[in-house]
Chain A
Amino acid sequence: MRAVDFRLTQEQGDLRAGVRDLLAGRYGREALRASVEAGGALDRGLWRELGAAGFFALRLPEAAGGVGLGMPEAVLVFEEAGRALLPGPLVATHLAAGVVAGAAEGAAVVTAFDLGGALVTHLGEADAVLGAPSLPAGEPVPSADPLTPLHRVASPPAAAQAAAYRDEGALLTAALQVGSALRTVELAVRHGGEREQFGQPIGAFQAVKHLCAQMLVRAEVARTALYAAAVTADAGEAAGAKLLADEAAVRNARDCLQVHGGMGFTWEADVHLHLKRAWVRAEQWRRAEEAQELLAAELASAAT
């Protein structure tokens, strides 16, 4: 019987488990730290493997050489990428599948003007910019996130260039944020269970417990909004998902850092990588103010 049902189908569950396994094997903690030390340079071999696994061609029709799945499956896959802190212009290249040659297979790296200004991520390694006729010139700029290199272009393009991809780009970015938000809950809970002070695990103290509980609440509310928006393709729900996922990813990373104490402030812990990437993604495709304005407009039209 068909009914309103949030549970994953067998196929969706298998897909998620498959991507998690692939990333655990190919982009585990050692690979993550190696790419941090390498200054965020993209691993082209991994990019091709992602392509071969259908990461970019997931929503292309089978007739066009794609996997033929939909947005609900795509957000599950991107959630896993967010958990693993997988670097690169994943969303832009996914959106470029079938539009830019080589994107679907992972042969091309495609970025986008998704930051809404003069800064562009991964431009130095990009083969194309989504919606742009040619690759613009840009000066490298030191980046807050070690895994997101930035360039500043001389003449930022009109906002319209990325606009066509905005709803989907925001939703897939929300999926990355949800994955990160869920992962930082796990990291905080693990640390809270291991680290002992005053003769017991710090996670036994309510002050720590309540931080962790609130992290889960944020992540689960955002995940619900994400899955619903992926199924309904409603613009308002997608804006709500991006807004809540941005908040969950950023605030969870902050709380995770707090739970980690002094370790959380070190380069060695992964917490700062989640926080910095969450800050980047919060600026991509649809910022909080834009999402709030879109939702306010929907509220106003629903209320009249």
Chain B
Amino acid sequence: MDLTYTDEEREFRARLRDWLGKTLPELPAKPSPDDWPGRRAYDAGWQRRLYDAGYAGLHWPVDAGGRGATPTQHLIFLEETERAGAPYVGANFVGLLHAGPTIAAEGTAAQRARWLPPVLRGDEVWCQGFSEPEAGSDLAALRTRAVRDGDDYVITGSKIWTSHAEVADWCELLVRTEPVSEAVPKHRGISWLAMPMDAPGVTVRPLRTLAGSAEFAQVFLDEVRVPVANRVGEENDGWRVTMVTLSFERGTAFVGEVVACRRTLGGLARAAKANGRWDDPVLRRRLGRLYGEFGALWRLTQWNVSEAQASGGVPGVGGSVFKLAYSHARQELYDAAAQVLGADSLALDGEWMLDRLSSLSYTIAAGTSQIQRNIVAERILGLPKGR
């Protein structure tokens, strides 16, 4: 156990902090949440600045266009950008955190050269076409069908909960290339494709979340032609390729947010002092407990990262333990916020209620808590699978 930083890491942190101090004041004003083209342009502009300064794809391997930084340097990057109040990845989330790492790990040299540089520069936005109306937690039950026709797949079906679909250039799409049969279990006949969102036959219908905004969409696919060359990994091997993506998602995607939650907690303490509720010992202790819990969650991210560093970079099932604890703690944080603010939390002109509403998705998205508990129980604890 060693929680100190090397000289090299400290220097990296200092240079980054310096760059953030100079760069953040130059950023344009944030667009409104409903202005999707504006949000895309804003997120692309931030990514371009990161790219030009050498911070894009920091922890990606060098042969994928990344900087080959250690997981610890990546952690420092996430910690410092969050601390400085830098923009989130936003519309670039899928490209930088799901599709990109998958292509880097599983794609051919030509596929990496085609798709990774535009992601790193912020030029191309990706969305994720995994879930379907009839395939949520049981993702392998997906039905969207891809039939080979010459050098193309012809795809018909629909995808749901697709974030950023309206502004995306590409979709990482899971399709069924082999029908389920007695010889082919459901997770065998799946392939992973890169689908251009402007292909004929793609229709995007925005879905309104309970927060009132259109954060995701249903995507209808009607005989969409996608070149076979856009398949990453072997035909029918898409389930394994996807698991690489999902483990990335659970392993590191929430690191910056833990730091953000600690900052949010500081804001809550200030609000409670200002409105006098800090004097309520029950509320004060509730906030104290959350401060301790988020401190531990920050250490748990460090632990996961140091394990990943030791095992060659692919985050493991420990991500499920983290996601279970974090998603619950985040909801608890915003419940506590409502207790601090009382009736004031009901007004939508502040950020609190929107954040509280969005926190409700955390125990559902990227694998529900129930699915995470199955993973922990079966893969870590070794309990038997049910019949």
Q: Is B6 an interface residue (CB 8 A)?
A: yes
Q: Is A170 an interface residue (CB 8 A)?
A: no
User: Which of A47-55, A58-66, A211-219 forms part of the interface with chain B?
Assistant: A211-219
Q: Cβ of A222: which chain B residues have Cβ within 8 Å of it?
A: 296
**In the complex where A4-B2, A7-B306, A236-B295 touch, is A289 in contact with B321 (Cβ < 8 A)?**
no
Q: Specify the chain B residue showing the minimal Cβ separation from A198.
A: B387
Q: Cβ of A3: which chain B residues have Cβ within 8 Å of it?
A: 2, 5-6, 9, 70, 72, 306, 309
Q: Is B54 an interface residue (CB 8 A)?
A: no
Q: Cβ of A185: which chain B residues have Cβ within 8 Å of it?
A: 381
Q: Cβ of B270: which chain A residues have Cβ within 8 Å of it?
A: 303-304
Q: Cβ of B285: which chain A residues have Cβ within 8 Å of it?
A: 289, 292-293, 296
Q: Is B289 an interface residue (CB 8 A)?
A: yes
Report A236-274 CB contacts with B as 1/0, cut-off 8 Å.
110111011000000000000000000000000000000
Q: Is A221 an interface residue (CB 8 A)?
A: yes
Question: How far is A287 from B376 in the complex, measured between Cα atoms in Å?
Answer: 30
B295-A4 in contact (CB<8A)? no
User: Which of B32-40, B83-91, B248-256, B297-305 forms part of the interface with chain A?
Assistant: B297-305
List which A65-84 residues lie within 8 A (CB) of chain B. Answer: 72
Q: Cβ of B377: which chain A residues have Cβ within 8 Å of it?
A: 203, 209-210, 212-213
Q: Is B382 an interface residue (CB 8 A)?
A: yes
Range class of the B interface residue count: 35 or more
Q: Is B370 an interface residue (CB 8 A)?
A: yes
**In the complex where A216-B321, A243-B292 touch, is A299 in contact with B383 (Cβ < 8 A)?**
no
A225-B299 in contact (CB<8A)? yes
CB distance from A184 to the nearest CB of B (A): 12
Q: Cβ of B296: which chain A residues have Cβ within 8 Å of it?
A: 221-222, 224-225, 228, 240-241, 244
Question: How far is A148 from B202 in the complex, measured between Cα atoms in Å?
Answer: 69
Q: Specify the chain A residue showing the minimal Cβ separation from B73.
A: A3
A296-B302 in contact (CB<8A)? no
A221-B265 in contact (CB<8A)? no
List which B362-387 residues lie within 8 A (CB) of chain A. Answer: 370, 372-374, 376-378, 380-387
A292-B289 in contact (CB<8A)? yes
Q: Cβ of B306: which chain A residues have Cβ within 8 Å of it?
A: 3-7
Question: How far is A212 from B374 in the complex, measured between Cα atoms in Å?
Answer: 10
Q: Is A12 an interface residue (CB 8 A)?
A: yes
Q: Specify the chain A residue showing the minimal Cβ separation from B369.
A: A210
Q: Is B200 an interface residue (CB 8 A)?
A: no
Report A196-207 CB contacts with B as 1/0, cut-off 8 Å.
000011011110
CB distance from A284 to the nearest CB of B (A): 18
CB distance from B133 to the nearest CB of A (A): 23
Q: Cβ of A115: which chain B residues have Cβ within 8 Å of it?
A: none
CB distance from A175 to the nearest CB of B (A): 13
A296-B1 in contact (CB<8A)? no
Question: How far is A72 from B4 in the complex, measured between Cα atoms in Å?
Answer: 14
Q: Is B288 an interface residue (CB 8 A)?
A: yes
CB distance from A9 to the nearest CB of B (A): 7
Q: Is A220 an interface residue (CB 8 A)?
A: yes
Question: How far is A214 from B320 in the complex, measured between Cα atoms in Å?
Answer: 11
Question: How far is A193 from B296 in the complex, measured between Cα atoms in Å?
Answer: 31
> For chain A, what secondary structure do more than half of its interface residues adopt (helix, strand, loop), or is it mixed?
helix
Question: How far is A300 from B270 in the complex, measured between Cα atoms in Å?
Answer: 7
Question: How far is A228 from B303 in the complex, measured between Cα atoms in Å?
Answer: 10
A213-B291 in contact (CB<8A)? no
User: Which of B295, B297, B382, B387 has most A Cβ within 10 Å?
Assistant: B295
Q: Cβ of A205: which chain B residues have Cβ within 8 Å of it?
A: 386
B384-A193 in contact (CB<8A)? yes
Q: Is B267 an interface residue (CB 8 A)?
A: yes
Question: How far is A1 from B376 in the complex, measured between Cα atoms in Å?
Answer: 32
B383-A212 in contact (CB<8A)? yes
A221-B373 in contact (CB<8A)? no
Question: How far is A302 from B83 in the complex, measured between Cα atoms in Å?
Answer: 13
B370-A12 in contact (CB<8A)? no
Contact of A221 among B289, B297, B309, B372 (CB under 8 A): B297
A220-B2 in contact (CB<8A)? no
User: Which of A204, A217, A241 has most B Cβ within 10 Å?
Assistant: A217
**In the complex where A9-B1, A200-B386 touch, is A239 in contact with B292 (Cβ < 8 A)?**
yes
Q: Cβ of B324: which chain A residues have Cβ within 8 Å of it?
A: 213-214, 217
A7-B307 in contact (CB<8A)? yes
Q: Is A285 an interface residue (CB 8 A)?
A: no
B72-A243 in contact (CB<8A)? no
A291-B292 in contact (CB<8A)? yes
Name 29 A/B residue pairs within 8 A (Cβ), A-sorted: A3-B2, A4-B2, A4-B72, A4-B75, A4-B306, A5-B3, A6-B1, A6-B303, A9-B1, A209-B374, A212-B377, A212-B383, A213-B324, A227-B1, A228-B3, A228-B295, A228-B296, A228-B299, A236-B291, A292-B285, A292-B286, A293-B284, A296-B285, A296-B291, A297-B288, A298-B291, A300-B273, A303-B267, A303-B269
Q: What is A's interface to B at a CB cutoff of 8 Å?
A: 1-9, 12, 72, 185, 189, 192-193, 200-201, 203-206, 208-210, 212-214, 216-217, 220-222, 224-225, 227-228, 230-232, 236-237, 239-241, 243-244, 289, 291-300, 302-304
